[in-house]
């Protein structure tokens, strides 16, 4: 089958199209014919080797982290799916490879594709929707009436997080470029802050939750808009000791992660708030929860551009150079 794989870390030159062996489905796995896959900033980071310290993949590696497709074979112990089912998923971090024609996926990572969505629309959602769910529902436990700040509200993650926070009953603020103010308001944002002209720390105060996808100085300033007891969940900040324990990291790596996040955690403690790093996990059950919100019209995908599968490398360049105006970039087999 055709696939796009990383042969060496370090940039675009280390990735190419290739013919690879078809995957085989294990006892509790299904073999999926991929119809569409989305391109995420995570793909760029994995290609460049940014996470090789705690995600030691063996190269060559087929890249790609979420998809929509059709089941073409099931393992003997599979009970939740049958041949012909339309599905979508973010496969487990150890079983990625959605930039390919087929993929074997554990049944627990899969969910039925939302009936209301096309394959292309469905493929745009799993990674960002699960990230938003795990940040806002699982980690921050957002309640009706709480105040939530979602950074980069027109982006792939932000556009879904804004909608999910509204579905949870929160008052939602977001940062956005001038061109996308109307976009995030249509998604449900109560406050849209043009980061080019406004400083969110001068406008917002007393927030319960911040979802940070930018890291750096943006993360440091986000801690200041929280009320005492509030939490900032970051997918771009430094890994913390909780993540190291969850990962089962060796002592040296645990010590390194603790040191990396020490400044941020100390700053949060002084302010009486909490900092939490999130690296999302695959979950078919959580995707089912999200599917009910999608089919109810409370969450809709935002797709910026669709590339043909043969142009996957161009799609990655498009994402890497931040050319997307709003939402996700998808590659389609159709």
Per residue in 253-300, pLDDT (tens digit) is 888 888 989 999 999 999 999 999 999 999 999 999 999 999 999 999
DSSP string, 261-291: THHHHHHHHHHT-EEEE------HHHHHHHH
User: CA–CA separation, 294 vs 301, rounded Å?
Assistant: 8
Q: Are residues 117 and 142 in the same domain?
A: no
Peptide bond into 60 cis (omega under 30): yes
Q: Is residue 167 part of a domain?
A: yes
Per residue in 174-213, pLDDT (tens digit) is 999 999 999 999 999 999 999 999 999 999 999 999 999 9
Angle at CA of residue 10, ends 9 and 14, nearest 5°: 65
CATH number for position 27: 3.90.180.10
Q: Are residues 230 and 183 in the same domain?
A: yes
- For residue 194, what is the enclosing H or E element? strand 191-194
CATH number for position 167: 3.40.50.720
Sheet with strand 207-212: strands edge to edge: 191-194, 171-176, 147-150, 207-212, 226-234, 274-277
Q: Are residues 199 and 112 in the same domain?
A: no
How many other CB atoms sit within 10 Å of the CB of residue 287?
A: 26
Q: Is residue 294 part of a domain?
A: no
- Nearby residues of 325 by Cβ (< 8 Å), 6 or more positions away: 154, 179, 180, 304
In this structure, what token pair is assigned to residue 274? 């909490």
CB 46 within 8 A of CB 97: no
**pLDDT computed for residue 252 by the predictor:** 85
Q: How many domains does one find in the chain?
A: 2
Q: Are residues 75 and 164 in the same domain?
A: no
CB 46 within 8 A of CB 55: yes
CA–CA distances in Å: residue 211 to residues 33, 184, 247, 302: 34, 15, 21, 19
Q: Are residues 224 and 243 in the same domain?
A: yes
In this structure, what token pair is assigned to residue 103? 């993929």
Q: Are residues 100 and 181 in the same domain?
A: no
The four Cα atoms 129, 132, 133, 139 give a dihedral, to 10 degrees, of 160
Q: Are residues 86 and 169 in the same domain?
A: no
Handedness of CA 148, 151, 155, 157 (dihedral sign): negative
**Residue in 216, 149, 176 with CA at minimum distance from that of residue 302:** 176
CA–CA distances in Å: residue 288 to residues 62, 82, 253, 321: 26, 17, 34, 33
Q: Which domain holds residue 55?
A: 2-124+301-332
Q: Is residue 207 part of a domain?
A: yes
Sheet with strand 15-19: strands edge to edge: 15-19, 2-6, 61-62
From first to last of its 334 residues, the chain has per-residue pLDDT tens of 999 999 999 999 999 999 999 999 999 999 999 999 999 999 999 999 998 888 889 999 999 999 999 999 999 999 999 999 999 999 999 999 999 999 999 999 999 999 999 999 999 999 999 999 999 999 999 999 999 999 999 999 999 999 999 999 999 999 999 999 999 999 999 999 999 999 999 999 999 999 999 999 999 999 999 999 999 999 999 998 888 888 787 888 888 888 989 999 999 999 999 999 999 999 999 999 999 999 999 999 999 999 999 999 999 999 999 888 899 999 999 8
CA–CA distances in Å: residue 21 to residues 2, 44, 66, 178: 9, 24, 20, 47
Mode of pairing for the β-strands spanning 171-176 and 191-194: parallel
């Amino acid at each position: 089958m055709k696939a796009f794989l990383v042969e060496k870390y370090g940039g675009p030159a280390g990735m190419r199209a290739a013919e690879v062996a078809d995957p085989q489905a294990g006892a509790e796995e299904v073999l999926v014919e991929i119809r569409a896959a989305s391109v995420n900033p995570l793909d760029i980071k994995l290609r460049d080797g940014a996470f090789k310290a705690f995600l030691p993949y063996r190269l060559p590696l087929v890249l790609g982290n979420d998809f929509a497709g059709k089941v073409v074979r099931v393992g003997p112990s599979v009970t939740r799916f049958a041949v012909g089912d339309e599905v979508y998923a973010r496969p487990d971090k150890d079983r990625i490879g959605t930039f390919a024609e087929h993929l074997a996926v554990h049944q627990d990572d899969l969910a039925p594709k939302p009936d209301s969505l096309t394959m292309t629309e469905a493929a745009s959602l799993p990674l960002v929707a699960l990230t938003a769910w795990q940040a806002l529902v699982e980690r921050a436990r957002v309640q009706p009436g709480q105040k939530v700040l979602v950074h980069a509200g027109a982006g792939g993650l932000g556009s879904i997080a804004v909608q999910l926070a509204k579905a949870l009953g929160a008052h939602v603020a977001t940062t956005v470029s001038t061109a996308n103010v109307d976009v995030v308001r249509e998604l449900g944002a109560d406050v849209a802050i043009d980061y080019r002209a406004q400083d969110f720390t001068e406008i917002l105060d007393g927030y319960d939750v911040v979802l940070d996808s930018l890291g750096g100085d943006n993360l440091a300033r986000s801690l200041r808009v929280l009320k005492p007891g509030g939490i900032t969940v970051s997918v771009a900040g430094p890994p913390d000791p909780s993540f190291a324990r969850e990962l089962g990291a060796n002592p040296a790596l645990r010590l390194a992660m603790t040191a990396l996040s020490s400044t941020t955690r100390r700053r949060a403690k002084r302010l009486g708030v909490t900092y939490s790093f999130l690296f999302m996990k695959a979950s078919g059950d959580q995707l089912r929860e999200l599917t009910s919100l999608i089919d109810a019209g409370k969450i809709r995908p935002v797709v910026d551009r669709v590339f043909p599968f043969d142009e996957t490398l161009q799609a990655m360049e498009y994402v890497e150079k931040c050319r997307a105006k709003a939402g996700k970039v998808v590659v389609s087999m159709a």
